[in-house]
Amino acid sequence: MEMASSFHSEKRSFDSKHRLGSNTPVSEETQINDYKGTVENLSDSPVEVSNIQTEGIDGPPKQGFFQRGILGRVVDSYRRADIPGQDDPEGDMVSNAGLKQALKTRHVAMMSLGTGIGTGLLIANGKGLSNAGPAPLLIGYGLVSVNTYFMVQAAGELAVAFPTIPGSFNAYTSQLVSRPFGFATTWLFFVQWLTMFPMELIAMTFAVRFWTTRVDADVFVLIFFVFLFIVHFIGVEAYGETEFFLNLFKVLMVIGFVIFAICVAAGGAGDSGYIGAKYWHDPGAFVSHTAEGRYKGVCYVLVSAYFSYGGTELFVLSVNEQENPRKTTPTATKTTIYRIIFIYLLTIVLVGFTVPNNHPRLMGSPYAKEGVQSVSPYVLAASYHHVRVLPHFINAVVMLALVSMSNSAMYAAPRLICSLAQQGYCPKYFDYIDRRGRPTRALVLCFIIGVIAFASSSEKRETIFSWLSAIAGLSELFTWSSIMLSHVRFRAAIKVQGKDINELGYKSNTGVWGSAYGVFFSLLVFAAQFWVALSAPNSGGKCSASDFFQSYLALPIWLTFYVGFMLWTRDFTFLIPLNKVDLDSYRRYYDPELLRQEDEEHKQAMKSASIWIKLHSFFC
């Protein structure tokens, strides 16, 4: 085994000297002599070199490494990865799940900050504003924000403890709660992100219609469909860079919007003069004038808020492809706080200050006029006050934001079905991971299903969009609940089995009680959503089957998966006993003494560091 490792080390050294694309010209004779030397260096070892391809060393190689060319290397990269956990053909590490560890700290930090800024926040918020009002919108998002932080802390601890588990947080429930629970939750999460890809592209065409309705919407869908296809078949590096810059645009747009909205509300921009909290008084902070209606408005916003925060958990899904999870996870949890405060809560307050809840162009507005396209409330904040140019700029970034969410969906969905296959929850055919760390077959399947996006030119596009988004919000609630429940069970099992909690590389700042509260709050949201599904705000107390299933569709889907798995496998386990919970598989144990030394060294380094380094360490 040691000699084999030596051979691979020598070969990588040779390959790195003659990598395609190198700026240093190397003659064919030099290449041949170097390769001969590589083999001669191994001549004293018992390694069999008879299988090493030496054909052509004394003459021009026929099918050697340098004769395959770029096309040959591309084709070769799609072959199944031989041994997960070892180096791939380009020297990058591949995790035990077979996925390349190529995402860097800056990728993960920007993903944590910007991923999720999509349909929910930029477009669907208009539905909450028009049906509930600015006050319920802010209250609902505030409540869900607290739960978001608890979820991120729980997920961060589990991600560092189980960095190589196939399926990441979707596999936690199977290992720590029960297999039926894990199967149902993972499949529901997969369906959510599978439908998210076409849904976000359809929503993107809503933004396009702000400019024109003459060009067929499918043209824009085709352009971005092909773009995302290319990105994901290049590999995770391309996804990371694409998402980094798309998220950067989104974050910059939000910062610009905050400055602009403050100016508008203060009367420094637009033609409306000083606004302040005018729209909180007329037409009002609440759409309903009854106590029951106002409470129902808050409940109505809760699931919409979960939908908007959707994607926050994706930084955990990327742990298998991070270079140093223990370093990147704390950064991701910190950026989540900034995202909650500045990107969500602050912008929601400002939207309520600059857009009245009775505007007819808000999505789902009861005042909507036939033939008038719904637009983002962020765009309305500029156009309603007759600010030129800016609405077009905001709309362009909104369009890119929706493409970014489609990009995230196409990252998540194939890896989810691949993890399902690795766990035995779907055909093994889809566990195929190639030498570049791509879940190739799962990618192809997801792109085929993504063709639904071409329904954007249909007259029923808003109906299709509504049904595609029907499971998204409640699905996030299931997923987050499962993460926090897994964390509670993980800590309880550690205590029962007498394990050392100091062997954890990262500990949740909110502890087990934060996760316990999160699970309890999730149960309350399930109950509140059921009440809203029976009788939506502004429905006059009438129950509609269509409205009910659009609000609660995720629950029957989850129950179908849960009961179906139990009946099919005859596994009726409700909860795995704590003394039998598997705490060792895929686990990474950390030396408590080394962790203590690292923390002490960091404290000492910070004492002599400049103020800028201290600020960077504190905030990042």
Q: What is the pLDDT of residues 221-272, one digit of tens each?
A: 888 889 988 888 887 788 888 888 888 888 888 888 999 999 999 988 878 8
Q: Per-residue pLDDT for 96 more than 60?
A: no
What is the reported pLDDT for 560? 94
Q: Per-residue pLDDT for 17 more than 60?
A: no
What is the reported pLDDT for 406? 86
Q: Return phi, psi of residue 258, to 5°.
A: -60, -45
What is the reported pLDDT for 189? 86
pLDDT band, very low/low/confident/very high, at 3 (cuts 50, 70, 90): very low
What is the reported pLDDT for 580? 93
* Residue-range domain boundaries for the chain: 2-59, 105-247+291-338+405-569
In three-state form (DSSP H/G/I as H, E/B as E, the rest C), the secondary structure along 193-259 is HHHHHHHHHHHHHHHHCCCCCCCCHHHHHHHHHHHHHHHHHHCHHHHHHHHHHHHHHHHHHHHHHHH
Mean pLDDT computed over 19-28: 43
Q: Per-residue pLDDT for 549 more than 80?
A: no
Q: Per-residue pLDDT for 433 more than 70?
A: yes
Q: Per-residue pLDDT for 492 more than 90?
A: yes
Mean pLDDT computed over 294-314: 85
Q: Could you tell me which residue, 74 or 559, shows the higher pLDDT? A: 559
List the single range of 65-79, 242-256, 393-407, 458-472 with lowest mean pLDDT: 65-79
What is the reported pLDDT for 366? 78
Give the integer Cα–Cα distance in Å for 206 and 93. Answer: 41
Q: Could you tell me which residue, 45 or 430, shows the higher pLDDT? A: 430
Of the CA atoms within 13 Å of residue 27, those in its CB half-sphere come to: 3
Q: CB–CB of 554/188 below 8 Å?
A: yes
What is the reported pLDDT for 322? 61
The residues, ordered by sequence, that sit 6+ positions from 423 with a Cβ below 8 Å of its Cβ are 166, 167, 171, 174, 182, 186
Q: Could you tell me which residue, 26 or 124, shows the higher pLDDT? A: 124
What is the reported pLDDT for 43? 42
pLDDT band, very low/low/confident/very high, at 145 (cuts 50, 70, 90): very high
pLDDT band, very low/low/confident/very high, at 348 (cuts 50, 70, 90): very high
Q: CB–CB of 394/108 below 8 Å?
A: no
The residues, ordered by sequence, that sit 6+ positions from 222 with a Cβ below 8 Å of its Cβ are 454
**Second-level CATH architecture of 105-247+291-338+405-569:** Up-down Bundle (1.20)
Give the integer Cα–Cα distance in Å for 162 and 486. Answer: 12
Give the integer Cα–Cα distance in Å for 92 and 323. Answer: 10
Mean pLDDT computed over 213-219: 80
What is the reported pLDDT for 192? 86
Give the integer Cα–Cα distance in Å for 427 and 449. Answer: 17
What is the reported pLDDT for 169? 73
Give the integer Cα–Cα distance in Å for 559 and 538. Answer: 30
Please give the structure tokens belonging to residue 399: 């369009």
Give the integer Cα–Cα distance in Å for 322 and 306. Answer: 26
Q: Which of 191-205, 287-301, 589-603 has the highest mean pLDDT?
A: 287-301
Q: Per-residue pLDDT for 27 more than 80?
A: no
**Percent of the residues in the chain that have a pLDDT greater than 70, as a whole number:** 76
What is the per-residue pLDDT across 437-456, written as a single tens digit (0 to 9) for each? 788 888 888 888 888 877 76
Q: Which of 137-146, 194-203, 267-276 has the highest mean pLDDT?
A: 137-146
* pTM recorded for the entire structure: 0.77
Mean pLDDT computed over 18-28: 43
What is the reported pLDDT for 163? 82
Give the integer Cα–Cα distance in Å for 297 and 291. Answer: 10
DSSP state of 374: P
pLDDT band, very low/low/confident/very high, at 101 (cuts 50, 70, 90): low
Please give the structure tokens belonging to residue 310: 């959707």
pLDDT band, very low/low/confident/very high, at 87 (cuts 50, 70, 90): very low
**Percent of the residues in the chain that have a pLDDT greater than 90, as a whole number:** 17
Give the integer Cα–Cα distance in Å for 14 and 25. Answer: 15
pLDDT band, very low/low/confident/very high, at 540 (cuts 50, 70, 90): low
Give the integer Cα–Cα distance in Å for 66 and 35. Answer: 12
What is the per-residue pLDDT across 259-302, written as a single tens digit (0 to 9) for each? 999 999 998 887 888 888 889 998 989 988 888 889 988 998 98
- Helix 472-496 / helix 554-569 crossing angle, nearest 10 deg: 50
Give the integer Cα–Cα distance in Å for 469 and 313. Answer: 18
Q: CB–CB of 69/30 below 8 Å?
A: no
Give the integer Cα–Cα distance in Å for 406 and 29. Answer: 49
Q: Could you tell me which residue, 108 or 183, shows the higher pLDDT? A: 183
Mean pLDDT computed over 356-372: 81
Q: Which helix (H) or strand (E) holds 427?
A: none
What is the reported pLDDT for 387? 86
